[in-house]
Each structure stands twice: as C-alpha cells, then as structure tokens.
C-alpha cells in the first residue's frame, strides 16, 4: 500500500499529491530504513474569478507533497484534488481527498451588484483511481461534500492518457463535473431579492446534475532528482442548469479556460535513497 500526501498552504489553489504508482518494497534486514521525500512547489494559475465568470484572475500559491523514499513517483494531474491514498498498489488507489472552492463576492465585481455572495467552501471527500493500462491510462473519480459556502455533494470524473518520453511526461484527457442542488444554487441560482436589486438577472432555481464537461492537459519535465517544472491548460463548458443560469447567460460565460505553471524542488528527510 502506498503512502503519499499533499498540502496546499494558502486557502486558494489546488494541488494533488496522490501517487498512483506507489509500490511497497520490502526492506532487507540490515538495510537503511526508508525516509521521506518532501516536495515544495510554487504554482501560478490564471482561471475564472468564480464559476461561470467571464473575467479572469491570477493566483500564486505554494504547496507541499510528501511520499516515502522507497515509493516510485507516480503520475499526478495538476487538477487532481489534494489526496492521501489509504489503500492500493501500482494499478489502483482509494483514499481521502479535499478541494478548496473560492467564493464569489459582489464587492469584487460591479456586475454582481445586489446578488448575494457565495462564500468559499472546503470540500473533503473520497477518491478512487484505476489504471486500465499500467502507467498509460488512468481513470479517477472524486466524491466530496461542501462545507461553509454550501452544504451538499459534488463530484468529478477524469480520464488521463499519459505518455512518458524520457524525462518528459505528457497527459491529456476529458473531465466531467457533477454538482448537487446546494452547490448549483449557491453559484448559479438567483433569488427574488437578487433580481430586484440587479436588473440584469431574473429569479432562477438551478437543478442538480452535470455542471460542466471539458478537457485538461499537462506537460512535466523532470530536470533531475530535485527539480521539475509543469505547464497545464484546461477548458470546461458549463452545461445544464449551470449554463442556463442568468448569472452565466447575462453576466458571465459558459466557456471556462485555465492555464498555469509550477516549479518543484524535492529533498529527502532521512532514510535511504529515493526512487523516481
């Protein structure tokens, strides 16, 4: 069973640290015990200001990931939730996951005048992933529950085709996001009072279902045992009740793009040498 975890330091941004290829290796009698490998990462992302926004913002945040030195480093998509694998091997993993959902505040956007704020949320939950083709094709699902800004279920499905060319790792695949009524109405619903204060929207109740479909891609280059850099990009198309919301139709956009980059440095915390 592999052990790997990751921490995003500020309350903004998402970074994954679940190692899909974590393989437990036996330690011979008298050999040096395994230690831990800590990776410090700096991330920058340009993405919509809030779900359904047509305006974009720039985020910069640090993150940490930790794994045992006797575990080979597995593939991690930049848009994975922060993960900790509890059970699994080189072909599958099950564990806990968390994401941070930024809020939507009318003081940050004049077009939102009179529309109630959607507060930030923490989304803890469970994840599972499986590699139908070892180290080439990954299927991952997450089921999470929102706390603070809304109280309800959300989920995501991802399929990644991974190709390794020397020190370069390329990945691309489709994405599907699903949300319950609580999330949908927090971000896409419009109350009578909202409509009275803001003439650009009309009362609207959003239904649960598929929130968006899209695609994500990334390229990571491992310069040496310590340094790696990643570039990423993604596109999501809002669907269903999210796409039909007056907030999206009149004030925002169904098309949601994101681009980003990160640089990481890894170093050992005691024990024997690590595996890449």
Q: What is the pLDDT along the chain (276 residues), one digit of tens a residue?
A: 455 555 554 444 433 333 333 333 344 444 566 788 888 999 999 999 999 999 999 999 888 777 777 777 778 899 998 888 899 888 999 999 999 999 999 999 999 999 999 999 999 999 999 999 999 999 999 999 999 999 999 999 999 999 999 999 999 999 999 999 999 999 999 999 999 999 999 999 999 999 999 999 999 999 998 999 999 999 999 999 999 999 999 999 999 999 999 999 998 886 655 555
Does the residue 123 lie in any domain?
yes
Q: Which of 213, 211, 141, 212 is nearest to 182 (CA)?
A: 211
Q: Which residues neighbour 68 within 8 Å (Cβ) at sequence distance 6 or greater?
A: 2, 3, 4, 34, 35, 36, 37
Q: Specify the pLDDT at position 155.
A: 98
Question: pLDDT value at position 262?
Answer: 96
- Give the pLDDT confidence score for residue 273 in this predicted structure: 55
- Alpha-helical (H) ranges within the chain are 181-188, 192-197, 240-244, 246
Instruction: Confirm whether 160 is domain-assigned.
Output: yes
Residue-wise burial string across 23-37, b where 16 or more C-beta atoms lie within 10 A, e elsewhere: beeeeeeeeeebbbb
**Residue 53: inside a domain:** yes
- 3-state SS class at 81: coil
Which tokens go with 147? Answer: 């706390």
pLDDT of residue 271: 61
Query: For residue 28, what pLDDT is reported?
Result: 45
In this prediction, residue 2 carries a pLDDT of 52
The Cα–Cα gap between 118 and 108 comes to: 12
25 assigned to some structural domain: yes
**What CATH number is associated with residue 104?**
2.40.160.40
Residue 92, domain member (yes or no): yes
Residue 59 domain boundaries = 4-269
For residue 32, what pLDDT is reported? Answer: 60
- 275 assigned to some structural domain: no
Instruction: Report d(CA 186, CA 147) in Å as an integer.
Output: 12
Rama region for 210: left / alpha / beta (φ>0; ψ in -120 to 50; rest): beta
Let me know: does 85 contact 93? Beta carbons within 8 Å. yes
The predicted pLDDT at position 31 comes to: 52
276 in a domain, yes or no?
no
Looking at the domain assignment, is residue 177 inside a domain? yes
Look up the pTM and report it.
0.82
User: How many structural domains compose the chain?
Assistant: 1
Nearest to 162 by CA among 192, 183, 132, 187: 132
């Amino acid at each position: 069973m592999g052990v790997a975890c990751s921490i995003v330091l500020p309350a903004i941004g998402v970074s994954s640290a679940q190692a899909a290829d974590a393989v437990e290796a036996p330690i011979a009698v008298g050999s040096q015990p395994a230690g831990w490998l800590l990776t410090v990462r700096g991330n920058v992302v340009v993405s919509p200001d809030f779900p359904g926004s047509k305006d974009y913002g720039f985020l910069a945040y640090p993150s940490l990931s930790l794994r045992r030195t006797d575990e080979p480093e597995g593939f991690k998509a930049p848009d994975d939730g922060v993960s900790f694998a509890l059970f699994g091997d080189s072909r599958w993993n099950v564990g806990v996951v968390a994401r941070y959902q930024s809020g939507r505040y009318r003081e940050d956007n004049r077009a939102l005048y009179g529309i109630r704020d959607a507060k930030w949320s923490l989304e803890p939950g469970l994840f599972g992933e499986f590699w139908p083709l070892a180290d080439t094709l990954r299927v991952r699902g997450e089921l999470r529950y929102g706390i603070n800004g809304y109280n309800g279920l959300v989920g995501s499905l991802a399929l990644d085709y991974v190709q390794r060319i020397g020190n370069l790792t390329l990945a691309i695949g489709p994405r599907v996001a699903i949300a319950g009524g609580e999330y949908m109405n927090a971000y896409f619903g419009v109350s009578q009072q909202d409509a009275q204060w803001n003439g650009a929207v009309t009362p609207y109740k959003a239904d649960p279902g598929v929130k968006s479909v899209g695609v994500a891609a990334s390229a990571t280059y491992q310069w040496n045992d310590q340094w790696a850099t990643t570039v990423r990009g993604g596109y999501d198309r809002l669907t269903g009740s999210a796409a039909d919301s007056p907030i999206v139709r009149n004030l925002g956009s169904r098309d949601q793009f994101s681009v980003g980059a990160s640089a990481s440095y890894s170093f050992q915390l005691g024990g024997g040498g690590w595996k890449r």
